[in-house]
Amino acid sequence: MSIKLPRLGIGTIGYHEEPPWITLALLAALRSENIHAQIFVGRGAYPRYAVARGVCGRCLRYLDSWLMTPQLCREFFLRGMRTADIGIVEGVYSYPGGDRGGLDLLSEWLNLPRFVIVDATCLDRCRELVLPQKVAGIFLDRVESEKHFWSLRTDLELLYGVPVLGGLPRLNELRSQFFQHLEVGCLPRAWWHSLAQQFCRWWSKQQIMTTAQAYAWPFEDTSAATAPDWGDGRPSVRQVALAYDEAFNRYFCETLDGLEAVGVKIVDFSPLHDESLPEGTDVVYIGCGALGRFLRDLASNHCMKAALRRHLASGRPVYAEGAGAAYLCQEIRRPEGDAYPMVGVLPAVATWCRAAQEPSPTECFTKESSWLFASEMRLRGYRTHEWELRPIRPRATLAEDSHGTTLVGCYHAVGSLLYVNFAWHPPLLQRFIRPSLAAKLSYDPWQPPPTPSG
């Protein structure tokens, strides 16, 4: 028996747009109508403007056709949909990487109605618009005027037989305000209200909701309440200190759910504002974020840097990703050349790459074992290009790919440029909650390799 599960997939064709203006406008419009939407990012990588998706009032969740099986994808989708009125999976159709993060396979796996975003400024009357298969609707972005919208709607519906369900004007001022507001904090309610008003001018709300409800869920109910098997016995890790503030705030919600599901207590702390770690901390977890305007404050919080060093000196582990890994390095260097001293527990220097490309699908193998990763373990995920790690000791590199160093380690500290959703990899989550502390590096990465005799 199929279950009622309103949902849709929405994305651009062949290119990634960040921020996704139409998706944000749709979320704002649904919120204004008191329709509770759950947003899923169709790649296992943090979007640059992940915080903007918070307009729906829910934790941002992730799915991925490269890192997940169809069954696993459906299970996590159902868990995320527990209290939502509609599920929205955002991504890219006909993605250049194929099944590595594209929305086409996810649409098949979840039987999603496919909505596409078309940039009105790129339409050419002399060139055919190549649409994905089984398109259920079109949204137009950067429309010149109301007359322009209705003209394009008529032409597209006649040519392709696909309904145009809404659009968004150019709104140059409103779009520039988006970046100005995020530069100093968060997006105010008035900005979201303006965006929703503009989108509601032309949207066909009833047709969107009817289409989202019309697609059956023809899969066996995997029971969203069923917790994954994390292994036998209680975790040896009882409390995880999670870095969370204006600088560090990008985490996979599924990973945090998985930790709490097995009884691990998560306590947040601020590397920017706090002077010590939460009492009783077993593992420190420092995620990614946007450090640009906080580098001076992070460098000047000597108490927190000392607390992290004491935590490691006591034999307890730290895991950090992206900006978190850069924070654990000796220093962070900006593109302009100025440097800021950081925690200094990883023998590496981090460079901030301001004009970075989007995260890329990466597969690599670990060279050495650590408390979290076994030796010669295959790792798959999305590598951030916002940061480069340059080890100042050759043996500090735990893994690398074609772009350079991916993992850096020193005793119980591990820094990664690979985004890893531990909930999708139960063996890794087991190692996180039952760390192999005896598996720290068998050598001192600060010492140069021995000189061959003879």
* 19 upstream amide cis, omega within 30 of 0: yes
pLDDT, tens digit (0-9, with 9 covering 90-100), for 366-403: 998 899 999 999 999 999 999 999 999 878 899 999 88
Instruction: Render pLDDT for 212-259 as a digit per residue (tens, 0 to 9).
Output: 999 999 887 555 444 555 555 567 899 999 999 999 999 999 999 999
> What per-residue confidence (pLDDT) applies to 442?
46
Please report the pLDDT score of residue 415 as a whole number.
Answer: 97
pLDDT of residue 49: 85
SS3 sequence, 355-390?
Answer: CCCCCEEEEEECCCCCCCCCCCCEEEEEECCCEEEE
Q: Is 235 helix (H, G, I), strand (E, B) or coil?
A: coil
For residue range 251-275, list pLDDT tens digits in order: 999 999 999 999 999 999 999 999 9
Report residue 436's pLDDT band, with 50, 70 and 90 as the boundaries.
confident
Where is 145: in which H helix or E strand? none
The C-alpha atoms of residue 302 and residue 304 are separated, in whole angstroms, by 6
pLDDT band per the 50, 70, 90 thresholds, residue 97:
low
The band of 95, judged by pLDDT with boundaries at 50, 70 and 90, is low
From CA 57, how far away is CA 27, in angstroms rounded?
Answer: 10
Domains in the chain and their CATH numbers?
Answer: 7-214 (3.40.50.300), 239-439 (3.40.50.880)
Q: Give me the pLDDT at residue 128, please.
A: 84
The amino acid sitting at 348 is A
**Segment 331-338 mean pLDDT:** 91
- Which pLDDT does position 102 carry in this prediction? 83
Q: Which residues pair with 88 in a beta bridge?
A: 8, 39
**Of the candidates 257, 270, 217, 294, the residue with the CA atom closest to the CA atom of residue 3:** 217
The yes-or-no verdict on residue 345 having pLDDT over 90 is yes
pLDDT of residue 356: 66
Residue 62 has pLDDT above 50, yes or no: yes
pLDDT over 70 at 443, yes or no: no
Closest to 344 in 3D by CA, of 363, 318, 367: 318
Please report the pLDDT score of residue 235 as a whole number: 79
What global pTM score does this model have? 0.90
% pLDDT > 70, the chain: 90
Q: Which pLDDT belongs to residue 224?
A: 46
Mean pLDDT of 73-99: 87
